[in-house]
Structure 1
Amino acid sequence: MHKPASDDVTSLHDLSAVDLIVGYRARQFSPSEVMDEVLAQVALWEPHIKALYLLDVDGARAAAKASTERWAKDEPVGSLDGVPATVKDNIATKGQPMPLGAASVTRAPLAADAPPVARLREAGAIIFAKTTMPDYGMLSSGLSSFHPLTRNPWDLRMNPGGSSAGAGAAAAAGYGPLHVGTDIGGSIRLPASWCGLVGLKPSFGRVPIDPPYVGRVAGPMTRIVDDAALMMSVLSKPDRRDGTSLPPSDLHWKVAEKPARKLRIGLMLDLGGVGQPLEEPVRATTLAAARAFESAGAVISEVKGVLTREMLDGLDNFWRARLWDDLARLAPEVRAKTLPYILQWAERGAALSGVEVIRGFNVTMTLRAAAAKLFGEYDYIISPTSPGVKFPAEYASPVNDPQAPFEHITYTVPWNMSENPAISVNAGYDDDGFPIGLQIIGRRFDDLGVLGLAKTFEGLRGEQRPWPVAPAA
Structure 2
Amino acid sequence: MPHSTGRPASLTATELVAAYAAGDLSPVDVLQDVAAVIEEREPALNAFWHLDLESARAAARSSEQRWERGQPAGPVDGVPVTVKENLARKGVPMPAGSAGVEPAVPVRSSPVVERLEESGGVILGSTVMPDWGMLSSGVSSLHGITRSPWNSALTTGGSSSGAGAAAAAGYGPLHVGTDIGGSIRLPGTWLGLTTLKPSAGRVPLDAPYLGRAAGPLTRTARDAALLLSVISRPDPRDWTSLPPEDLGTVLPPEPREVRGLRVGLHLDAGCGLPLDPEVRRAVEAAAALFADAGAEVEPLGPFMTPRMLHDLDEFWRVRSLADFDALPPAARERVLPFIQRWVLAVRGVDGTTALRDYASIMLLQKATVAATEPFDLVLAPVAPVTAFPAEWPMPWGEDDAGMAHIGFTAPYNMSGQPAASVNCGFTADGRTIGLQVSGRRFDDVGVLRAVDWYEQHRPAEAVPSWPIPEPERRAEPVSADERGAHA
TM-score bucket of the superposed structures, by smaller chain: over 0.9
Once the two structures are TM-superposed, the CA of residue 258 in structure 1 deviates from its matched residue by 3.3
Percent identity, please.
47
Say whether residues 1:428 and 2:425 are aligned partners: yes
Say whether residues 1:443 and 2:440 are aligned partners: yes
Matched residues in 2 for 1:422 and 1:465: separation?
20
Q: Which one-letter code corresponds to 1:288 in the other structure?
A: A
Matched residues in 2 for 1:74 and 1:271: separation?
51
Once the two structures are TM-superposed, the CA of residue 370 in structure 1 deviates from its matched residue by 1.2
Matched residues in 2 for 1:278 and 1:340: separation?
28
**1:261-281 CA-partner distances (Å, limit 9, x unpaired):** 121111000233x11111111
**1:231 alignment partner in structure 2:** 227
Choose the corresponding residue for 2:163, options 164, 167, 170.
Answer: 167
Choose the corresponding residue for 1:133, options 114, 129, 154.
Answer: 129
**1:4 alignment partner in structure 2:** 2
Choose the corresponding residue for 1:283, options 263, 280, 286.
Answer: 280
Once the two structures are TM-superposed, the CA of residue 371 in structure 1 deviates from its matched residue by 2.0
**1:269 alignment partner in structure 2:** 267
Question: What aligned pairs does 1:389-404 form with structure 2 within 5 A after superposition?
Answer: 389-401=386-398, 403-404=400-401
**2:374 alignment partner in structure 1:** 377
Choose the corresponding residue for 1:303, options 277, 297, 300.
Answer: 300
Q: Secondary structure at the match of 1:398?
A: coil
Q: Secondary structure at the match of 1:54?
A: strand
Matched residues in 2 for 1:101 and 1:471: separation?
31
**1:399–1:407 contact (8 Å) kept in structure 2:** no
**1:324 alignment partner in structure 2:** 321
Matched residues in 2 for 1:349 and 1:129: separation?
36
Say whether residues 1:198 and 2:194 are aligned partners: yes
Say whether residues 1:293 and 2:277 are aligned partners: no
Structure 1 residues 229 and 465, CA gap change in structure 2 (3 angstroms) = closer
Once the two structures are TM-superposed, the CA of residue 254 in structure 1 deviates from its matched residue by 3.0
Q: Secondary structure at the match of 1:351?
A: coil
Structure 1 window deviating more from structure 2 (249-258 vs 329-338): it is: 249-258
Matched residues in 1 for 2:400 and 2:161: separation?
22
Q: Which one-letter code corresponds to 2:465 in the other structure?
A: P
**1:180–1:219 contact (8 Å) kept in structure 2:** yes
Structure 1 residues 141 and 412, CA gap change in structure 2 (3 angstroms) = same
Q: Which one-letter code corresponds to 2:351 in the other structure?
A: G
Say whether residues 1:48 and 2:28 are aligned partners: no
Q: Secondary structure at the match of 2:378?
A: strand
Q: Which one-letter code corresponds to 2:317 in the other structure?
A: R
Choose the corresponding residue for 2:62, options 63, 66, 87.
Answer: 66
Once the two structures are TM-superposed, the CA of residue 465 in structure 1 deviates from its matched residue by 3.7
Q: Which one-letter code corresponds to 1:261 in the other structure?
A: R
**1:232–1:253 contact (8 Å) kept in structure 2:** no
Structure 1 window deviating more from structure 2 (166-175 vs 453-462): it is: 453-462
Say whether residues 1:220 and 2:224 are aligned partners: no
Once the two structures are TM-superposed, the CA of residue 287 in structure 1 deviates from its matched residue by 0.5
**2:373–2:440 contact (8 Å) kept in structure 1:** no
RMSD, matched Cα: 1.6
Q: Secondary structure at the match of 1:187?
A: coil
**1:412-449 CA-partner distances (Å, limit 9, x unpaired):** 00000011000001111111222110000100000000
Once the two structures are TM-superposed, the CA of residue 259 in structure 1 deviates from its matched residue by 2.0
Matched residues in 2 for 1:468 and 1:118: separation?
31
**1:85 alignment partner in structure 2:** 81
Structure 1 window deviating more from structure 2 (120-129 vs 242-251): it is: 242-251
Matched residues in 2 for 1:253 and 1:208: separation?
20
Structure 1 window deviating more from structure 2 (12-21 vs 54-63): it is: 54-63
**1:35-62 CA-partner distances (Å, limit 9, x unpaired):** 0000000011111111111111211112
**2:392–2:398 contact (8 Å) kept in structure 1:** no
Matched residues in 2 for 1:219 and 1:153: separation?
21
Structure 1 window deviating more from structure 2 (179-188 vs 259-268): it is: 259-268
Once the two structures are TM-superposed, the CA of residue 299 in structure 1 deviates from its matched residue by 1.0
Matched residues in 1 for 2:187 and 2:361: separation?
23
If the length of structure 1 is used for normalisation, what is the TM-score? 0.96
Say whether residues 1:358 and 2:351 are aligned partners: no
Between structure 1 and structure 2, the one with the greater Rg is: 2
Q: Secondary structure at the match of 1:265?
A: strand
**2:192–2:464 contact (8 Å) kept in structure 1:** no
**2:101–2:327 contact (8 Å) kept in structure 1:** no
Structure 1 window deviating more from structure 2 (334-343 vs 103-112): it is: 103-112
Q: Which one-letter code corresponds to 2:466 in the other structure?
A: W
Question: What aligned pairs does 1:99-118 form with structure 2 within 5 A after superposition?
Answer: 99-118=95-114
Q: Secondary structure at the match of 1:383?
A: strand
**1:197-249 CA-partner distances (Å, limit 9, x unpaired):** 01100000000011110000000000000000001111110000011111222
Once the two structures are TM-superposed, the CA of residue 32 in structure 1 deviates from its matched residue by 0.3
If the length of structure 2 is used for normalisation, what is the TM-score? 0.94
Q: Secondary structure at the match of 1:270?
A: coil
**2:80–2:121 contact (8 Å) kept in structure 1:** yes
Q: Secondary structure at the match of 1:350?
A: coil
Q: Which one-letter code corresponds to 1:404 in the other structure?
A: A
Name stretches of at least 5 consecutive residues in structure 1 with no aligned partner: none
Q: Which one-letter code corresponds to 1:14 in the other structure?
A: S
**2:478 alignment partner in structure 1:** none
Q: Secondary structure at the match of 2:94?
A: coil
Matched residues in 2 for 1:186 and 1:151: separation?
18
Matched residues in 2 for 1:250 and 1:64: separation?
27
**2:381–2:435 contact (8 Å) kept in structure 1:** yes
**2:416 alignment partner in structure 1:** 419
Q: Which one-letter code corresponds to 2:172 in the other structure?
A: G
